[in-house]
């Protein structure tokens, strides 16, 4: 066993390539002697490859515009892809508010989708100025000034304001339908509201 170890050690020593035969940049002359004296292992190279051997293709050999940068569309399109559109952390629904002045205008003239009067040209601009003056006083002043029949047009048959979208005023027409497997049983002492 010891003879095999000795043979393997000799083979390993024969396989060591001297520094001057390696394809690396090395110091020469007196600096090489100083390096070999001070180095822990003088047979090791510094690892810097020779340019002629290891830089293939050589720098500057390729045409400058031959490489095409891969672009992913639409994510890589900078022009039509601002950050506020991509930001999923802040993409919650934004609230919109209607103040009393806007509400007076909606009650008097209606909205774009369902206008109460067709006002074109000068009549429309006069109506907008009039609504701005009425809106400054507030909703209470508008309700006191106008007739009750005009006020109730915007409301439902019961005189209630319109419900938010998706809601229904019919009795028993709930938004959530809880089945027995999704709710507590009758014997469980917990109240559930349907």
What are the tens digits of pLDDT across the range 80-118? 778 888 787 877 777 777 788 888 887 777 776 667 677
**Is the residue at 78 inside a domain?**
no
- Tell me: pLDDT of 72 over 60: yes
Its sign, for the CA torsion 186, 187, 192, 193, is: positive
**Is the residue at 141 inside a domain?**
yes
**Is the residue at 76 inside a domain?**
no
**pLDDT at residue 38, rounded to an integer:** 92
**Is the residue at 33 inside a domain?**
yes
Q: Structural domain tally of the chain?
A: 2
CA dist 142 and 135 (Å) reads 8
104-157 per-position pLDDT tens digit: 887 777 776 667 677 777 877 788 888 888 888 888 888 788 665 555 666 666
- The total number of residues written for the chain in this structure: 194
Q: How many helices (H) and strands (E) does the chain have?
A: 8, 0
**Is the residue at 175 inside a domain?**
no
- Domain with 47, as residue range(s), is 2-54
**pTM score:** 0.36
pLDDT bracket for residue 64 (50, 70, 90): confident
**Is the residue at 71 inside a domain?**
no
């Amino acid at each position: 066993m010891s003879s095999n170890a000795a043979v393997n050690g000799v083979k390993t020593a024969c396989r060591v390539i001297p520094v001057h035969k390696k394809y690396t940049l090395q110091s020469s002359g007196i600096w090489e002697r100083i390096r070999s004296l001070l180095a822990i292992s003088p047979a090791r190279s510094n690892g810097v490859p020779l340019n002629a051997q290891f830089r293939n293709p050589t720098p500057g050999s390729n045409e400058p515009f031959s490489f095409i940068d891969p672009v992913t569309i639409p994510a890589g399109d900078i022009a039509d892809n601002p950050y506020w559109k991509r930001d999923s952390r802040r993409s919650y629904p934004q609230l919109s508010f209607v103040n009393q002045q806007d509400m007076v205008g909606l009650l008097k003239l209606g909205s774009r989708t369902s206008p109460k009067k067709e006002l074109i040209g000068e009549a429309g601009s006069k109506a907008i100025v009039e609504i701005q003056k009425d809106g400054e006083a507030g909703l209470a002043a508008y309700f006191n000034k106008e007739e009750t029949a005009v006020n109730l047009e915007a409301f439902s048959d019961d005189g209630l304001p319109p419900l938010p979208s998706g809601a229904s005023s019919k009795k028993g027409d709930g938004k959530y339908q809880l089945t027995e497997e999704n709710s507590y049983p009758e014997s469980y002492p917990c109240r559930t509201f349907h």
